[in-house]
């Protein structure tokens, strides 16, 4: 097989970053939407129902496009993806948003790049970045962590702990999903993971049905719709393809931008206060992302 030339490699890398950025933009609405949804649904029902809805859409896509079933050896990695991004992250974030604001929860997303690349190295020994990458990646994460400390009013240790657990599980699911998507395809990975988890999620959804549907407002339904369709399926179509094309270490740094997209949405949609310091920190994070990309 002929080797790809430099122009092809550059084009593939930028295509990966473009897909990754679209995924990040979609995911940026996840926590604000979850915050709205838990105003009408319990965290358990929200987690289960969003997975069931997305699994139905994924199954339709797999059937219509006649996708080949994954090999038996893929079931274990798909279970890891399901544990991380279908069950773990949605459930823990929904529980966390019972204790903290969406604005505070969003800044923890800045720790996802390190979690993703570390799991990528631990599980697959892939994408070994240069030392300078760790410098800029660490600097970006420290900026986000510092921003979280600045916004410490009303913080609840329970909510913070749940968010840290959610970040670890999400990083695990991202890293394993990125590896699988190179073979199965990005949207296929999340669709099969959703199908794998759907029996348990369907039972949980039925067991946690609201006692009454009265009083559940349109915002809660809209939040459920967003996290089911966009956060649980559409976002992963772009995100896993981006990680597969551009590399886990490099494209994963785009997650450093997600807190600030999300904070903007939290201010616009939920009317939560967003301080002017966000602009200065966001500028520093952008520089860290660009620098980390160079050395990934």
Taking a C-beta distance cutoff of 8 angstroms, is the pair 84, 174 a contact? yes
Q: What confidence score (pLDDT) does residue 1 get?
A: 43
- Over range 279-283, report the average pLDDT: 70
Neighbours of 224 (CB within 10 A): 23
Q: What confidence score (pLDDT) does residue 253 get?
A: 73
* pLDDT greater at residue 296 or residue 45: 45
Reported pTM: 0.81
* pLDDT greater at residue 28 or residue 107: 28
Degrees, nearest 5: CA angle 239-241-247: 90
Q: What confidence score (pLDDT) does residue 78 get?
A: 94
Lowest mean pLDDT, pick from 22-36, 151-165, 176-190, 215-229: 151-165
CA distances from 137 to 109, 120, 121, 248 (A): 13, 15, 15, 13
Gap between the Cα atoms of 100 and 110, Å rounded: 17
- Over range 124-144, report the average pLDDT: 73
Question: Measuring CA to CA, which residue among 23, 59, 53 is closest to residue 177?
Answer: 23
* pLDDT greater at residue 203 or residue 98: 203
* pLDDT greater at residue 134 or residue 9: 134
- Terminal CA-to-CA distance of the chain, rounded, Å? 26
| 217-246 per-position pLDDT tens digit | 999 999 999 999 999 989 988 888 887 788
Taking a C-beta distance cutoff of 8 angstroms, is the pair 22, 240 a contact? no
Find the length of the chain.
296
* H helix intervals, the chain: 6-27, 30-37, 43-64, 75-81, 89-96, 102-107, 112-124, 131-150, 157-184, 186-207, 218-226, 235-246, 248-252, 258-269, 277-295
Is the confidence at residue 250, as pLDDT, over 90? Answer: no
Widest CA span in the chain = 63
pLDDT over 70, % of the chain = 83
- Over range 3-23, report the average pLDDT: 73
Question: Measuring CA to CA, which residue among 137, 136, 151, 140 is closest to residue 106?
Answer: 151
- Over range 54-74, report the average pLDDT: 92
pLDDT band at 278, cuts 50/70/90? Answer: low
Q: What confidence score (pLDDT) does residue 46 get?
A: 95
Lowest mean pLDDT, pick from 8-17, 94-103, 179-188: 8-17
CA neighbours closer than 13 Å in the CB half-sphere of residue 127: 31
Question: Measuring CA to CA, which residue among 243, 257, 30, 29 is closest to residue 143?
Answer: 257
* pLDDT greater at residue 78 or residue 273: 78
Sign of the C-alpha dihedral computed for residues 240, 176, 24 and 143 taken in this order: negative
- Over range 11-24, report the average pLDDT: 82
pLDDT band at 45, cuts 50/70/90? Answer: very high
């Amino acid at each position: 097989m002929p080797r790809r030339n430099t122009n092809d490699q550059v084009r593939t890398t930028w295509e990966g970053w473009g897909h990754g950025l679209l995924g990040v933009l979609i995911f940026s609405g996840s926590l604000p939407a979850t915050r709205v949804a838990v105003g009408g649904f319990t965290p358990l029902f929200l987690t289960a129902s969003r997975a069931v809805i997305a699994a139905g859409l994924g199954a339709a896509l797999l059937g219509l496009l006649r996708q080949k079933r994954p090999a038996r050896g893929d079931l274990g990695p798909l279970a890891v993806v399901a544990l991380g991004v279908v069950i773990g992250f949605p459930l823990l974030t929904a529980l966390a948003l019972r204790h903290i604001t969406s604005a505070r929860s969003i800044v923890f997303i800045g720790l996802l790049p390190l979690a993703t690349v570390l799991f990528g190295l631990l599980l697959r020994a892939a994408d070994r970045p240069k030392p300078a990458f760790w410098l800029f990646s660490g600097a970006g994460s420290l900026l986000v962590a510092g921003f979280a400390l600045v916004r410490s009013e009303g913080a609840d240790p329970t909510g913070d702990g749940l968010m840290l657990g959610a970040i670890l599980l999400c990083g695990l699911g991202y890293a394993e999903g990125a590896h699988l998507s190179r073979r199965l395809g990005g949207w296929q990975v999340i669709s099969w993971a959703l199908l794998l988890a759907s029996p348990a999620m369907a039972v949980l959804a039925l067991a946690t049905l609201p006692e009454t549907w009265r009083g559940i407002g349109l915002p809660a339904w809209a939040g459920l719709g967003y996290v089911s369709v966009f956060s649980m399926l559409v976002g992963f179509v772009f995100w896993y393809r981006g990680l597969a094309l551009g590399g886990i270490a490099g494209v994963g740094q785009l997650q450093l931008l997600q807190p600030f997209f999300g904070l903007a949405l939290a201010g616009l949609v939920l009317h939560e206060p967003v301080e002017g310091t966000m602009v200065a920190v966001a500028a520093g994070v952008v520089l860290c992302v660009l620098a980390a990309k160079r050395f990934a």
